[in-house]
Amino acid sequence: MNVTTATTRTTEIVLPGVVEPAGLHIQVRDLPAPGQGQVVLRMDATGVSFAEQQMRLGKYFDQPAFPFVPGYDVVGTVVGTGPGVDRDLRGHRFAAVTKVGAWASHLIVEAADLVPVPDGVDAAAAETVVVNGVTAWQMMYRTAKVERGDTIVVLGANGGVGSTLVQLARHAGIKVIGTVSARHHDAVRELGAIPVDYRDPAMYARIRELAPEGVHAVFDHVGGPGLHESWKLLRRGGVLVNYGSAATKDEPGNAMLPVLKLFGRLMVWNLLPNGKRAGFYNFWAGKRFRAAAFRARLAEDLTQVLALVGQGVLTPQIAARIPLSEAGAALALAESRTVLGKVVIVPEP
């Protein structure tokens, strides 16, 4: 039979409620046998994204009820297969987007969600571009549709998504202005962007000096009051792509209210007769009603991004590699906003 019958022991990091990073719990349990179309994946690398930071505060849209195991994406090796799954997948490395559950030594994943990782690509390197790389790729090419010779602005050019956007743009012959703290100016300049200090009160004026005719696209994960300034940077025909509301992450109250206000603002701007567009990028758009199409698009885009990593076009920005048992420290480091790139969680040494 084409199934795994041996019991797999897993170590998981549990988010018990709204706690500080140090309040995460560790639990060990037996995984159930993989079901129809499922595999057991041994985690080789997972990571900390902005989503987990919001989930810790109970503010991520559609997150599960507490307690649960976080972990938005994973790179791992198949060690077990369920009915209907090719046993030849065993021993091979894949990437998958899980939304939750990846902060674990072993986890069960739908085989249909697996995307092969090219030979020779390090697990941690691949991990940095799973959600971040797909997000950057889709925002650039499916949402903004920028082209060679365009000028774009990337807010937070030192972050996981931001640093990937910068490199993709550089590879495509696109000029990038990236906002970043002064400590990361040299690193972001080396990635291919013109750095602008986001702490400078005259930041938007400085960007306008660099692009006096306006820019073709702004990628804004901050939201809040600065979103209007991002909109004003656009030239006619330009696109504002918002993909988060970091400015309101720590605000008390209903997590959806800032998002609903943001949606309303973007809709109003789209009605203005100035040729500009504004939209909110949602990684999960289409999954509920067109699951097969969503998976196909995700696999296509992630395959493209992983190939660029293998070719050396994309240099993964790994801020730190931290063992699974120290996931709280990994979360705290990511939330400190002092790092360049993504904090990656790896198996115990």
Nearest-angstrom CA–CA distance, 319 and 334: 9
Q: Which region among 93-102, 263-272, 312-321 has the lowest average model confidence (pLDDT)?
A: 263-272
Nearest-angstrom CA–CA distance, 56 and 79: 30
How does residue 96 score in pLDDT terms, banded at 50, 70 and 90? very high
Q: Which region among 103-107, 242-246, 302-306 has the lowest average model confidence (pLDDT)?
A: 242-246
What own/partner pairs with CB < 8 Å and gap ≥ 24 does 291-300 have? 295/112, 295/113, 297/138, 298/97, 298/115, 298/134, 299/115
At residue 1, does pLDDT exceed 70? no
At residue 276, does pLDDT exceed 70? yes
Helices 131-138 and 160-171 pack at an angle, to 10 degrees, of 50
Largest Cα separation within the chain, whole Å, is 67
Q: Show the tokens assigned to 140.
A: 């650039």
- Calculate Rg over the CA atoms of the chain: 20
Provide the strand spans (E) within 32-136.
38-48, 73-81, 93-97, 106-110, 115-116
> 23 and 328 in contact (C-beta within 8 Å)?
yes
Predicted pLDDT of residue 341? 86
Predicted pLDDT of residue 256? 63
> 49 and 72 in contact (C-beta within 8 Å)?
yes
Nearest-angstrom CA–CA distance, 68 and 55: 10
At residue 9, does pLDDT exceed 80? yes
pLDDT, greater one: 307 or 62: 307
Q: Which region among 241-245, 295-299, 327-331 has the lowest average model confidence (pLDDT)?
A: 241-245
As a whole-number percent, the residues of the chain with pLDDT over 90 amount to: 82
Nearest-angstrom CA–CA distance, 331 and 333: 5
At residue 110, does pLDDT exceed 90? yes
Nearest-angstrom CA–CA distance, 191 and 173: 13
Please report, as a single letter, which amino acid is at residue 3.
V
- List phi, psi (to 5°) of 285: -55, 130
Residue-wise pLDDT for 164-211, tens only, equals 999 999 999 999 999 999 999 999 999 999 999 999 999 999 999 999
At residue 249, does pLDDT exceed 70? no
How does residue 248 score in pLDDT terms, banded at 50, 70 and 90? low
Nearest-angstrom CA–CA distance, 107 and 94: 13
**Mean pLDDT over each residue of the chain, to the nearest integer:** 93
C-alpha pair distances (Å), 153 with each of 37, 121, 269? 42, 29, 19
Predicted pLDDT of residue 224? 84
Nearest-angstrom CA–CA distance, 237 and 149: 15
- List phi, psi (to 5°) of 37: 75, 15
Residue-wise pLDDT for 283-301, tens only, equals 999 998 899 999 999 999 9
How many residues in the chain? 349
Residue-wise pLDDT for 37-52, tens only, equals 999 999 999 999 989 9
**Is residue 317 left, alpha or beta, with left meaning phi > 0 and alpha meaning psi from -120 to 50?**
beta
Q: Which region among 158-167, 206-215, 243-252, 326-335 has the lowest average model confidence (pLDDT)?
A: 243-252
Residue-wise pLDDT for 202-236, tens only, equals 999 999 999 999 999 999 999 888 999 999 999 99
> 44 and 75 in contact (C-beta within 8 Å)?
yes
The 10 Å CB-count burial string (b at 16+, else e) for 122-143 is bbbbbbbbbbbbbbbbbbbeeb
At residue 253, does pLDDT exceed 80? no
Cis peptide before 67 (omega within 30 of 0): yes
End-to-end CA distance of the chain: 34
